[in-house]
Chain A
Amino acid sequence: NAGVTQTPKFQVLKTGQSMTLQCAQDMNHEYMSWYRQDPGMGLRLIHYSVGAGITDQGEVPNGYNVSRSTTEDFPLRLLSAAPSQTSVYFCASRYRADNEQFFGPGTRLTVL
């Protein structure tokens, strides 16, 4: 199993640009989540999904969109990048609510 994969590892954007962060898992997990990690803030939930076709907002959803057309993939879209979105982004998955959580390697995003 590859586990949870994320691409790209690093990305630099200019303000106003859009992009998609990719996340995939091959463990047939139902739950998938996107977090951002900022110094002193801990992990904050952006969007999550409890199964294909089902997504919902987390704590900091503004400026981001998600979709879950398959069990495996959960892309995160930045609609119009802003410097406040400079962060490290982690995708994670787990089989059910009370199971171990697996994290992807992260994407370090800088918005100029």
Chain B
Amino acid sequence: EDQVTQSPEALRLQEGESSSLNCSYTVSGLRGLFWYRQDPGKGPEFLFTLYSAGEEKEKERLKATLTKKESFLHITAPKPEDSATYLCAVGSWGGSQGNLIFGKGTKLSVKP
């Protein structure tokens, strides 16, 4: 069964304190791994897609990496405006084609 597990559930950082969020996955053929940001009361906002192990993508203070079993979202020198819930999702070539399997998310709080 396709599954996504994110850790930690919640993370509190001081402004400028770098850290990483983890996304572990099991899928029957990875079609893609997706990172989203979700602010309270809003829909998920697309950040990155990763397709193969070893791939990396960056956007401002965020960098996403991918291995065969997990993905990391590295946050460098975060600012309070980076506070949000970060969702990881996988697309599978297996039984659930056409949809994304989401984790429960990591709620990030960055204090000034």
State whether these chains interact. no
Residues of A within 8 A of B (CB): none
Residues of B within 8 A of A (CB): none
